[in-house]
Structure 1
Amino acid sequence: MNELVTINGKQVVTSSRNVAEHFEKEHKHVLDSIRAILAAENSAAKFFHETTYENRGKQYPEYLMNRDGFALLVMGFTGKAALEWKMKYIDAFNAMEKSIKTPQLAPNPHYRTRMIGTAVRDIGKTAESIERVFAVKHGMALASAMEMVGESYGIDTAPLKRLIPAEENPGYLNATMLAGKLGLLSKTGNPKASDANAKLAELGLQKKEGKEWRLTDKGREYGEEKPFTRNGHSGYNIGWNEKVLVLFEQPVKV
């Protein structure tokens, strides 16, 4: 009974129990007041509708009333609290009546289809920009574009992500994995990522910028930078494809 008013048929109504609760009166006394109004004025019957409610398996009487019935009933209720509740009910009646009188626009069945089509085109344009500006592979750019555009349009782009073609040479090898494949091991037999990074820099595939390794133009053929955010820190992880292994077998040009 949290709502002050509701819709019954085509009318905005409240109930005698609702009024009793908010105006802090015994429900039986509210029922007596309504019956007294009905006995005194036959025409008031159109403002009230007698019904029942169930409580613990038993049926009890209550009345539903429209705005006019409510006004007649609470007219004699006095006090500051009563006045505040009268104003709240008036506002509730006004708001509900306005909502049912406002014409609702029929949904256009073609709108969502057009919106999805526009979103797909925006995904393509956004992916092109990401690919160009951040120099990442097309698949990664598409995935990022789908997430951003999908959130902007409020649509689920998961079905589209399944359509992203697999990369021919995915960059999945990090420096530690490369070190393991190349046999660059520490005295304890663990792969030494630092040695792999030094070799990659020696081959001209990456360079140090601050504390991070970044791809060179030559390195973009063999690796891709994957942006990340972790523990408040943002940066790039480089993933190398297996083509880079061939370069380690060739002599370094000085």
Structure 2
Amino acid sequence: MNDLVFIQNDQVLTDSLTIAETFGKEHKNVKRDIEEVISKIGELKNDEEAKRLRINFDTLKFERIEYIDVRNRTQTKYLLNFDAFMLVTMGYTTQRAMLVKVGYINAFNRMKEELQRRQQAFQPKTTAEMLLMYAQQMVETERKLKALEEDNARQNSRIEQLENKIEKRLTEEFEMQLVTPTQIGKMFEPALSGKEVNKLLQKAGLQWRVGGEWVATVEGKKYSSSEPIQLENGKMVYQLKWQRRVKEIIQAEMEVVVK
């Protein structure tokens, strides 16, 4: 009955599929029994009597994992250690169930002895072997640390790239926001009036006067939008609003004027 249990990560375990098969039960019912036990344990952890008796529930291993069945479907099952197995099967009391449990106990004990033999085989017996083991552990630790450092560097690089993209996107969105000539003027030091900004936009070839209103040129339409506004007298007029980035164009025009 050695197939009843197996060694995984230095632990002797069985699983709910094997339990269902050996006890002659449906797997879904065994999983139900396991989940009922897990639920009761969750309640008992907060029980005052359990706290007073200092009961340690950490010795119980119930690990829910996925596996692929014979029909290539993803299913779930539980891994259990000896303590968890005994707790779940405590209610299985038929004569056959008792025989199966004894078989499990024997299998757990044999596999536990096998695990101990494996672990002892790796224990150093001489000073030279001990030094070699420590050296190997140090090399492995250094390898893991280097891998962690490289992974952190990659993560930091990705974060930096993402931050740069976000910053660039926010800057672009900010520069594309539409504002009035008066608001553009306030971006300068000293500030310019809205009239001064309009004149500089005209000199830059971005707008001209048509019928008393400013109208964007073909080039100016790349940077502006004509939006309707209602005056106090109820009259509807259109006002040109400009992207913030025209500040650079105006700045360049001002430098030309100064020269």
**TM-score by structure 2 length?**
0.39
Larger radius of gyration between Structure 1 and Structure 2: 2
**TM-score by structure 1 length?**
0.39
